[in-house]
Structure 1
Amino acid sequence: MTQHFLLSAQARSISLKAVFSMGEEKAYETFRQMRWPETDGEAVCPRCGCLETYDIKTRKRFKCVACHHQFSVTSGTIFAARKMSYTDLLAAIVIFVNGAKGVSALQMSRDLDCQYKTAFVLAHKLREAMAREQEGRVLNGIVEIDGGYFGGHVKPENRKEDRKDRRLKANTSGKRQCVVIMRERKGKSLPFIVRNEGDAVPYVRDHVGTLATIYADEGSGWDALHAGWDTKRVNHSVAFMDEGVCTNQAESYFSRLRRMEVGTHHHIAGPYLHQYAREASWREDNRRRPNGTQAAMVARAAMGSTISRSWKGYWQRSA
């Protein structure tokens, strides 16, 4: 029997033990290398681009020779104005990628001994950085498409005679949203959020190549795809696969997202559903990579991202 990748030694290329044993100085140098890889970690002024800077070692800051702007290794990134140590930031990234079905903010706050609010915002900033690689993505080849509904749960009444059929639209809360996943065979994936499955067709036009072959189920929302692509359908009430046509890769994505909802986060609907959907997509695309590689990818994406306008000062705005 073939061993699952997550059970193999290749899947473990970094650990929390290694992160905490490297010390603050080495963690700091790691962040410098990821912020300025073109200059081998030498500081570059984010304001004017000057390569000559003074190193203020007592404060771990730099001063530009040209414009005299002072900045740190995290200035202008999603970690700007951070209060956590570089070791804790690196450990948070490792904890985040180690969760195959995601990591809750409560668990991260306990592992790092920080407030829940800090862990919640940090995790969402990492999700935002992870989603950067999906921007402008166009899928080709064989593309599987499917939709799944999340949120809007309505609790049944206590007494049987008072219960209503929650499958009917009139008895729903109106908060249910549809996550549509488009996934290449042995390739990348791309999720997005719509109200109903059929509303996804305009997004398909923007992100699926015209020469691609689309595999979809028997849902009526996908009927319009036949006008623009070579579309093949499979009737799931009859078979899960029909002459090689299936949506198993899309179902694999929903399996991961459902387990994230039920077992880890318990509630992923609402205005931030798209971030959880993109996180699940990223984890599916990189599921065969070692955790050290995944951590490096997330760290580089975070250091290459600008200040998050959605999450900077999040709790201060809500107050």
Structure 2
Amino acid sequence: MAQHFLLSAKSRTLSIKEIYKAGEEAAYKTFCEIRWPETAGEAVCPACGHDEAYKITTRRKFKCKACHKQFSVTSGTIFASRKLDFTDLLAAIAIIVNSAKGVSAVQLSRDLDVQYKTAFVLAHKLREAMADEIDNAKIDSECEIDGAYFGGHIRPENRKEDRRDRRRLAYQNGNRRVVIVARERFGRTLTTVAKREAEGVQFARERVLTGVTINADEASHWDNLEGFYPLERINHSEAYSVNGVHTNFAESYFSRLRRMVSGQHHHVSPKYLHQYANHAAWLEDHRRESNGKLARRALHNALAAPISRDWAGYWQR
């Protein structure tokens, strides 16, 4: 029997030990090479695009020879105004991509020896950068669509006579959300968060190209897709797969997301559920890549992402 990829040496091309052993200068060089690959790591001004700059080595900054503005390798990126060392940032990325089901902010703060607030914001910035990879992406080949509900759990009362039917709307707390996934077979995974699974019909109209075959379960709201797409249906009360019709790829994604939410984070706010859903989709899409390649991909996404409107100065409101 062939060895699973994740058990092979090819999947392990980066370690935390290597990052810290190489030192701060090597980490800084890695940032420069990934930020400016077209000039082999030589600085390019983010303001005017000029490729010649003076080096201010004492502060690891540059001064553009054309517009005379000062900038650093993280200026204008999601890491702008960073205070962590470059080795710590690389280590954080390595820890996050190594975790197949995500990593909690508490664990990340302990591994990096930083405050919980620092780890929380850093992890969310990286999730935001990961989501940019599939921003405005469209599905152009056979896919599956499904939904799964998360959050909104209401603890029952201790005494039986005090308990209420938690299925009734009047007794719910309003925090329950559904993650809707449209997953291309052997392709990309696109997600959105809504209050009802029926909203997935509009999501499919926006992200799946007309004419693409969609596989869905027996839920009646998917009937509304029949006028726009070739639709294949599978009734899960009878079977999980019949003649190639199934939603197993979508269920595989939900399996990872459920374990991420329940096993690592334990509680996810509905306000940020979409970021955890995108994180799980990113891990699912690149699950056959080595951890070194994953780290470089995540760092490239972070350095290509603009300053975060949601997370810059988060704890300062």
Query: What range describes the TM-score normalised by the shorter chain of this pair?
Result: over 0.9
Pairing 1:107–2:134 present: no
Query: Which position in structure 2 is the counterpart of 1:93?
Result: 93
Partner of 2:44: 44
Quick one: distance in 1 between partners of 2:242 and 2:56? Answer: 66
Q: Is the 8 A contact 2:211 2:228 kept in 1?
A: no
Give the number of aligned pairs: 317
**Where in structure 2 are the equivalents of 1:32-71 lying within 5 Å?**
32-71=32-71
User: Shift in Å at residue 149 of structure 1?
Assistant: 0.6
Question: TM-score, structure 2 length as denominator?
Answer: 0.98
Instruction: Report how far residue 5 of structure 1 moved.
Output: 2.1
Q: Which runs of 5+ in 2 are unaligned?
A: none
SS in 2 for 1:79: coil
Question: How many Å apart are 1:204 and its aligned residue?
Answer: 0.7
Q: Per-residue displacement from partner, 1:58-108 (whole Å, max 9, x unpaired)? A: 111101111110111111111111111111111111011000000111111
Q: CA RMSD of the aligned region, Å?
A: 1.1
1:132 aligns with 2:132: yes
157-166 or 37-46, which deviates more: 157-166
* Alpha-carbon distance, 1:281 to partner: 0.4
Which residue in 2 is equivalent to 1:183? 183
SS in 2 for 1:49: coil
Deviation of 1:242 after TM superposition, in Å, equals: 2.0
**In structure 2, what is the Cα distance between the partners aligned to 1:259 and 1:105?**
16
- Flag structure 1 segments of 5+ consecutive residues without an equivalent: none
Q: Which runs of 4+ in 1 moved over 6 A?
A: none
Equivalent position of 2:273 in the other structure: 273
Contact map agreement 2:78 2:307 (CA 8 A) in 1:
yes
Secondary structure of residue in 1 paired with 2:148: strand
CA contact (8 A) 1:150 1:269 kept: no
Query: Retained in 2: the 8 A contact 1:29–1:41?
Result: yes
Q: SS of the counterpart of 1:294?
A: helix
Letter in structure 1 aligned against 2:282: W
Q: What's the CA shift string for 1:128-182, capped at 9, x where partnerless?
A: 0001111111112211000001111111111123323323334322221110000
Structure 2 matches for 1:103-182, cutoff 5 A? Answer: 103-182=103-182
Residue identity matched to 2:51: L
SS of residue in 1 equivalent to 2:191:
strand
Q: Distance in 2 between matches of 1:262 and 1:198?
A: 25
Distance 1:80 1:267 in 2: 29
- Checking the alignment, whether the CA contact within 8 Å between 2:5 and 2:11 is kept in structure 1 is yes
- Superposition deviation, residue 52 in structure 1: 1.5
CA distance in 1 between partners of 2:164 and 2:5 (Å): 45
On the 8 A contact 1:53/1:63 being kept in 2, the answer is: yes
Counting only pairs closer than 5 Å after superposition, residues 178-257 of structure 1 correspond to structure 2 as 178-257=178-257
Taking the aligned partners of 1:312 and 1:212, their CA distance within structure 2 comes to 39
Amino acid in the other structure paired with 1:33: E
Q: Is the 8 A contact 2:103 2:264 kept in 1?
A: yes
Residues 181-216 of structure 1: per-residue CA shift (max 9 Å, x gap): 000111111000111011121111111011211000
